[in-house]
Amino acid sequence: MKKLKEFLPLWKLIKEEKVKLIIASILTIISGVSSIFAGYLNGAAVESITKMNLMLAIKFLLIYFAIEVFIQHGLGTYAASMLQTIESKLSRKLGYNTYKKALNMPAVGYEKTSSGEIINRITNDSDSLSFIFGQLLNIFTRMIGALAILIYIFFNSIIIGVNILVFLIIFYFVIKKYAPLLKEVNKERKKQMDVFTSLVNESIRGIREIKTLGIKKNLLKETREIIKELFNKSKNEIDILKKYRIITGILRSTLEVSTFIICIILLYYKQTSLTFFIAMTYYVYNYTYMIEMLNDFTQSFQRLLVSIKRINEILENKLYKDVEFGDKDLKQVKGVIEFKGVDFAYPDEDLILKDFNIKLKPNKKIAIVGKSGGGKSTIFNLLTRIFDPQKGEILLDGVNIKDLTESSLRKEVSIIRQEPFIFHRTIRENFTILDKNITLEEIKKYCKIACLDDYIESLPNSYDTLLGEGGVNLSGGQKQRLAIARTLAKKSKIILLDEATSALDNNSQNFIKEAIDNLVKDHTVIIVAHRLSTIKDADIIYVINNGKVVAKGNHNYLLKTNKEYKKLYENESLNSEE
What is the number of other CB atoms lying within 10 angstroms of the CB of residue 85?
Answer: 13
Is 433 found in the same domain as 305?
A: no
Is 389 found in the same domain as 477?
A: yes
CA 276 centroid distance within chain: 54
What is the number of other CB atoms lying within 10 angstroms of the CB of residue 359?
Answer: 11
Q: Which residue, among 464, 455, 399, 456, has the nearest Cα to 425 in the 3D structure? A: 464
Contact 543, 565 (CB under 8 A): yes
Q: How far apart are CA 411 and CA 405, in angstroms?
A: 10
- Summarize the chain as % helix, strand, coil (round to 5): 65, 10, 20
202 in a structural domain: yes
Per-residue pLDDT of the chain (578 residues; tens, 9 = 90+): 455 566 666 667 777 777 887 887 788 777 777 777 777 787 788 888 787 888 888 888 888 888 888 887 788 788 778 877 877 777 777 777 777 777 777 766 666 676 677 777 777 777 766 556 666 666 776 677 777 778 888 888 888 889 888 888 888 888 888 878 877 887 788 778 777 777 777 776 666 566 655 667 787 888 888 888 888 888 888 888 888 888 888 888 888 888 888 888 888 888 888 888 887 877 787 777 777 776 666 766 777 777 777 777 777 766 667 777 888 888 888 888 889 988 988 877 888 888 888 888 887 888 888 887 778 888 888 888 888 888 999 998 888 989 988 888 888 888 887 778 888 888 898 898 888 888 999 999 888 887 788 888 998 889 998 887 777 777 777 888 888 888 888 888 888 888 766 556 666 666 667 667 766 677 788 888 777 777 788 889 898 888 888 888 888 888 888 888 888 777 765 454 44
541 in a structural domain: yes
Is 308 found in the same domain as 435?
A: no
Contact 279, 36 (CB under 8 A): no
Contact 391, 339 (CB under 8 A): no
Is 402 found in the same domain as 260?
A: no
325 in a structural domain: no
Contact 94, 10 (CB under 8 A): yes
324 in a structural domain: no
**pLDDT of the residue at 135:** 66
DSSP code per residue over 103-160: HTS-HHHHHHS-HHHHHHIIIIIHHTTTTHHHHHHHHHHHHHHHHHHHHHHHHH-HHH
Is 447 found in the same domain as 388?
A: yes
327 in a structural domain: no
**pLDDT of the residue at 266:** 86
**pLDDT of the residue at 578:** 44
Backbone dihedral region of 495: left (phi > 0), alpha (psi from -120 to 50 degrees) or beta? beta
Which CATH number does the domain housing residue 528 bear? 3.40.50.300
Q: How far apart are CA 386 and CA 14, in angstroms?
A: 34
Is 98 found in the same domain as 236?
A: yes
Q: Residue 481's domain spans which residues?
A: 337-577
User: If residue 494 lies in a helix (H) or strand (E), which one and from where to where?
Assistant: strand 494-498
Is 367 found in the same domain as 250?
A: no
Helix, strand or coil for residue 560?
helix
Is 516 found in the same domain as 439?
A: yes
Q: What is the DSSP letter of 323?
A: P
Of 283, 315, 347, which residue constitutes the final position of a domain?
A: 315
- Residue 530 CB-half CA count within 13 A: 16
Which CATH number does the domain housing residue 244 bear? 1.20.1560.10
328 in a structural domain: no
Residue type, 77: T
CA dist list (Å): 259 to 153, 172, 264, 279, 342:
11, 19, 9, 12, 78
Backbone dihedral region of 200: left (phi > 0), alpha (psi from -120 to 50 degrees) or beta? alpha
Report the domain count for the chain: 2
322 in a structural domain: no
Q: How far apart are CA 510 and CA 532, in angstroms?
A: 14
Q: How far apart are CA 59 and CA 89, in angstroms?
A: 43
Backbone dihedral region of 389: left (phi > 0), alpha (psi from -120 to 50 degrees) or beta? beta
Is 412 found in the same domain as 480?
A: yes
Is 414 found in the same domain as 310?
A: no
Is 400 found in the same domain as 262?
A: no
Is 176 found in the same domain as 263?
A: yes
323 in a structural domain: no
